[in-house]
A and B are shown apart, each in its own frame.
Chain A
Amino acid sequence: MKNSVRKLVSLSLAACTALTMSVTAFADEPYESYNYDNWDEAIPSQSGYTVQKTVNGTDMGLDRLSDPADELYFSENASVSLNEAKDVFVYNDSEIWVADTGNNRILRLDTDYNITGRYYYVTGESESGAAKSPDGTGTAFNSPQGLYVTKSPSTGLETIYIADYENSRVVRASVSGPTELTLEKEFLRPEESLYNSTTYNPTKVIADGAENVYVIVKSVNTGSVQFSPDGEFMGYYGANRVEVTAKVIAQRFWRKIASNEQIRGMQRNVPIEYVNFDIDNEGFIYTVTEAPVNTDAVKKINAAGYNIWNNALGDDYVFGDHTEAVWDMATNKTYATRLTDIAVNEQGIINVLDFETGRVFQYDKLCNLICIFGTKTSNADQKGAFTSPNAVETIGDTVIVLEGSKSRNDLTVFERTVFGEDLHKAFSYFDEGLYVEAVPYWNEVIKRDGGYTYAHVGLGKADLKNHEYKSAMKRFKIANDKKDYDKAFEYYREEWLQSHFTGIAVVIVILFLLWIVKSVMRRRGRRFRDLFGGNRKNKREEGSDGLNV
């Protein structure tokens, strides 16, 4: 009897343990959330985002494409999964467009990630030499790598731009139905001699408010190719600069003294082209460069092609991990930041995707790091882990990452945690300068992560605004924010001097009087000490102190 009770107890205990363990394992991300402090060191943090779900082709309902009764029917053997999908774009927070590169098709999903459109062809006469569709009215896509959807300001139609990689063309088409795109314009290889690349393989495309088209072309490093709405080549836009390294300087020196033959054999220092871009609703274009460079890694370019985030002008913008290239002993590989995509949402929150680590770095519009999420694993068999994260997009506050490798193709949907919501609210006030309004949210943030640097900065700035300089100084000290500490200290000192003015004045007056008394006494040939009855001998009369022989 006793024995069986004991057995029961131990069994139930074991069950309890097992249950709690499995619950913990379920809730965790396959990575440790971290953030950077003001010493540029990675510190543990809370997750601002967590995986809501992953959506693969079957979840999207891609089997409808092979169902003859369905309006989206394409063929009996239409693939039910994505294949090396390269780009995703969210139109108007209501439609998700996926460039299913390996299957040569474009897919349209609604916000529940169910398919509402599939596009293999674009209807209309083409000069590009792309394969004709079976009915002869249109041309097929061949490896479409990038897309951009917008409501055309001139026609008012929903217009899609597709970077049709293998067909060497960029297509502008209006969306006529769930399976039909009507060709409006093709942007083919520019004939001008200024375009001197032998190939023309567009990878990404965007269009600005005036319907100018910007195309990133593979192995063109002079910026994106810019077309006017009617297809005229307008030049290059927003080229990167060469990063000045010791090697570049050394080569510049050798080039001065080398012969022409030697120079021809030398490596050329050319800028690394940016691989992806996004445009915000104010018309600024954001670019990312997929190489571990500090110069122009992420740029915010205005209409004139001028980079606003320019570290050469004294700013200190850092994107991606703050570390230099890291050698990983386990995989025997060197990891260096490779930012592959950027997405800016309505509020100006910037998501940057690092291909190398599978991490999404989220910044507010002033480039303050909000949070980091996602990771990379060798087989990407966990939610929130990737092998080749190709694109990042946002629907409102939700972040989607497109995984497009040979083995796995899906969308990972990250939703905000409570911590992330507090962060966004706090940062939105913080960026507006409404420091006091941000306080409750910063307090929530601090409850969950006491080491969150910006929370202390934000609270300190609120204190500063409330004239509580002492506690502001304390906050800035925790955040290691010397500049703001200095400001708080300046006000604190001023306040202190004002409130202690009488005492300070009295001390100064007393010292002044003493000095006058002393100088009067000296003039009369008496020492100050004599006043107090002291009659120490003059030092000069002390005589020798030992060695004075």
Chain B
Amino acid sequence: MDSMYNFSTLGWVAHVCFHPTEGFEDLRWKKKGSVKLSLFIVLLLFIAMVANNRMRGFQFNTYYVKVFNVVPVIVQSVVYFAAWVIGNWCVCTLLDGEGTLKRICIFSAYALVPYILCTYAAVFLSNFLILDEAIWPDFFMYLGLGWSVVLMISAMKAAHQYSMAKTIGSILLTLVAMLLILFLAILLLSLFQQVYVFVYTLYTEIMYRVRG
């Protein structure tokens, strides 16, 4: 085997980020990638989103600052990521994809790294820049987003060994699957809430009777 491709765990992340077309193929071929690290990346994504909300320079911060609710941020980072991974796995299992759940999780997380880093960079910069120079944080945000989208397509292509067209198709289907999963999750939550209310009412009723 070529000794060129012996990287540390973080080295692999750098390798896939800077080799958008081949990086993930190498990662797959070498069977590298750490689930732990990918979960850590998702945590970093969550922190990046909180930082983007709370730590942007005041003149750049268009968020409503009177109330900060962390739940939507958790949903937008962790829950969306989980839905993406599960949705993608569901769709691609049906479409002859080779990816396992673990591999999809690792590849997707690695693909998010540029977006996360660029968000941090933009948040950092926004504390030193004025609105006239808004192009710099904007540039970093768009750079990170674009880069991650390219990496994500490449990652899915490598993970499932698809052609480009099939990759795009599967990604679109995954988005639909995510919607379905989230819809079902909300439905389930509200149903469980009703069950809880029902049980609680029963409990109160019984307690009233017991006490006389």
Query: Across the interface, do A545 and B30 meet the contact criterion of CB distance under 8 Å?
Result: no
Q: Which of A454-498 contact B (CB under 8 A)?
A: 473, 477, 480, 482-483, 485-486, 489-490, 493
Question: How far, in whole Å, are A548 and B8 apart by their CA atoms in the complex?
Answer: 11
* Complex alpha-carbon distance, A547 and B32, angstroms: 8
Within the complex, what minimum Cβ distance (angstroms) separates B66 from chain A? 7
- Taking a contact as CB atoms under 8 Å apart, the answer to whether B3 and A540 are in contact is yes
For A540, what are the chain B residues with a Cβ–Cβ distance below 8 Å? Answer: 3, 6
A486-B131, A542-B6 known; A547+B59 contact, CB < 8 A: no
Cα–Cα distance between A545 and B11 once the two chains are bound (Å):
12
Q: Does A39 lie at the interface of the complex (its beta carbon under 8 Å from any beta carbon of B)? A: yes
Pairwise interchain contact A547-B31, C-beta atoms closer than 8 A: yes
In the complex, whether A4 has a CB less than 8 A from a CB of chain B is: no
Q: Per-residue CB proximity of A513-547 to B under 8 Å, as 1/0?
A: 00000000000000000000000000110111101
Q: Out of A493, A539, A543, A549, which one reaches B130, CB within 8 Å?
A: A493
Q: Are A548 and B6 in contact (CB under 8 A)?
A: yes
Q: How far is the CA of A39 from the CA of B131 in the complex (A)?
A: 20
Q: Does the CB pair B66–A548 fall under 8 Å?
A: no
Q: How far is the CA of A493 from the CA of B59 in the complex (A)?
A: 13
Give the CA-CA distance A544 to B31 in the complex, in Å: 13
B208 CB–A CB distance under 8 Å? no
Q: Which residues of A contact B1 (CB under 8 A)?
A: 548-549
Give the residue name and chain of the A residue nearest to B1 (CB).
Answer: A548
B59 touches A489 (CB 8 A): yes
When C-beta atoms are compared, the residue in chain B nearest to A480 turns out to be: B65
Question: Which residues from chain A contact B6 at a C-beta distance below 8 Å?
Answer: 540, 542-545, 548
- For the complex, what is the distance from the CA of A489 to the CA of B58, rounded to whole Å? 10
Q: Which of B3, B31, B59, B132 contacts A485 (CB 8 A)?
A: B59
CA distance A542 to B4 in the complex (A): 12
CA distance A549 to B131 in the complex (A): 54
A39 & B8 in contact (Cβ 8 Å cutoff)? no
Interfacial residues of chain B within 1-28, with CB under 8 A of chain A in the complex: 1, 3, 6, 8, 11
Chain B contacts of A548 at CB under 8 A? 1, 6, 30
Residues of A within 8 A of B32 (CB): 547
Residues of chain A lying within 8 A (CB to CB) of residue B66: 39
List chain B residues, Cβ under 8 A from A480. Answer: 65
Report yes or no: B30 in contact with A477, Cβ–Cβ below 8 A: no
Q: Which residue of B lies closest to A549 (CB)?
A: B1
**A543 to B31 CA separation, bound complex (whole angstroms):** 16
Residues of chain B within 8 A of A543, CB atoms compared: 3, 6
List residues of chain B with CB within 8 A of the CB of A482: 58-59, 131
B residues within 8 A CB of A473? 58
With the chains together, A439 CA to B57 CA distance in Å?
27
Tell me the smallest distance from the CB of A538 to a CB of chain B, in Å: 12
Q: Specify which chain A residues have a CB less than 8 angstroms from the CB of B132 in the assembled complex.
A: 490
Asked if residues B64 and A489 are in contact (CB atoms below 8 Å), the reply is no
Find the A residue at minimum CB distance from B9.
A545
| C-alpha spacing A162/B6, complex, angstroms | 94
Query: Considering the chains assembled together, what is the distance between the CA atoms of A498 and B64 in angstroms?
Result: 34
CA distance A427 to B132 in the complex (A): 29
A545 interface neighbour in B8, B59, B131, Cβ under 8 Å = B8
Residue count of chain B within 8 Å CB distance of chain A: 18
> What residues of chain A lie closer than 8 Å to B11, measured between beta carbons?
539
Which listed residue (A485, A486, A547) contacts B30, Cβ 8 A?
A: A547
Asked if B130 and A490 make an inter-chain contact with CB atoms under 8 angstroms apart, the answer reads: yes
Residues of B within 8 A of A493 (CB): 128, 130
Rounded to whole Å, the gap between the CB of B30 and the closest CB of chain A is 7
How far, in angstroms, from A542 to B58 measured CA to CA in the complex? 47
Chain A CB within 10 Å — which of B57, B58, B59 has the most? B59
Rounded to whole angstroms, the CA-CA distance of A477 and B56 in the bound complex is: 13
Tell me the nearest residue of chain B to A546, going by C-beta: B32
**A175 → chain B closest CB, angstroms:** 56
CA distance A485 to B32 in the complex (A): 49
Q: Are B58 and A477 in contact (CB under 8 A)?
A: yes
Cα A539 to Cα B57 with chains together (Å): 40
How many angstroms between the C-alpha atoms of A325 and B177 in the bound complex?
38
User: Whole-angstrom distance between the alpha carbons of A147 and B1 in the complex?
Assistant: 98
Contact A39 B130 (CB under 8 A): no
Chain B residue with the shortest CB-CB distance to A41:
B66
CB pair A39–B64 under 8 Å, yes or no, is: yes
Within 8 A of B (CB), among A272-287: none
- Please measure, in the bound complex, the distance between the C-alpha atom of A377 and the C-alpha atom of B93, giving whole angstroms: 66
Task: Tell me the minimal C-beta distance from A71 to chain B in angstroms.
Answer: 63
Q: With the chains together, A545 CA to B132 CA distance in Å?
A: 49
Query: 1/0 contact trace for B44-70 toward A, CB 8 Å?
Result: 000000000000011100001110000
- A540 and B30 alpha carbons, distance in the complex (Å): 16
Least Cβ distance of A500 to chain B in Å? 13
Instruction: Name the distance in Å between A68's Cβ and chain B's nearest Cβ.
Output: 67
Interface pair B8/A485, CB less than 8 Å apart: no
B81 to chain A, nearest CB (A): 25
Residue of B nearest to A494 (CB): B130
Convert A298-322 into 0s and 1s, putting 1 for each residue whose CB lies closer than 8 angstroms to a CB of B.
0000000000000000000000000
Min Cβ gap B206→A in Å is 36
| 113-147 of chain A: CB within 8 A of chain B | none
Q: What distance in Å separates the Cβ of B119 from its nearest Cβ neighbour in chain A?
A: 20
For A539, the chain B residues whose CB sits under 8 A away are 8, 11
Q: How far, in whole Å, are A490 and B130 apart by their CA atoms in the complex?
A: 6
Contact of B59 (CB < 8 Å), options: A486, A542, A544, A549: A486
Bound complex: CA A493 to CA B127 (Å): 10
Q: How far is the CA of A548 from the CA of B3 in the complex (A)?
A: 9
Query: Across the interface, which residues of A come within 8 angstroms of B130, CB to CB?
Result: 486, 489-490, 493
CB distance from A150 to the nearest CB of B (A): 47
Cβ–Cβ < 8 Å partners of A485 in chain B = 58-59
- Min Cβ gap B199→A in Å is 33
User: Which B residues touch A483, using CB under 8 A?
Assistant: 59, 131
Report A-chain residues with C-beta under 8 Å of the C-beta of B57. Answer: 489
Q: Which residues of B contact A544 (CB under 8 A)?
A: 6
In the complex, what residue of chain A is closest to B32 when comparing beta carbons? Answer: A547
- CB-defined contacts of A549 to chain B, threshold 8 Å: 1
Give residues of chain A (315-354) contacting chain B, Cβ–Cβ below 8 Å: none
Closest Cβ neighbor of B3 among chain A residues:
A540
Which residue of B has the minimal Cβ distance to A541? Answer: B3
CB distance from A480 to the nearest CB of B (A): 8
CB distance from B197 to the nearest CB of A (A): 25
Interface residue ranges of B126-154 to A (CB < 8 Å): 128, 130-132
7 nearest A-B pairs in the assembled complex, by CB-CB distance: A486-B59, A490-B130, A486-B131, A482-B59, A485-B59, A486-B130, A485-B58
Name 29 interchain pairs, CB-CB below 8 A, sorted by A: A39-B64, A39-B66, A473-B58, A477-B58, A480-B65, A482-B58, A483-B59, A483-B131, A485-B58, A485-B59, A486-B59, A486-B130, A486-B131, A489-B57, A489-B58, A489-B59, A489-B130, A490-B132, A493-B128, A539-B8, A540-B6, A543-B6, A544-B6, A545-B6, A545-B8, A547-B30, A547-B32, A548-B1, A548-B30
Q: With A482-B58, A490-B130 given, can you name 4 additional A-B contacts, CB distance below 8 Å?
A: A480-B65, A486-B130, A540-B3, A549-B1
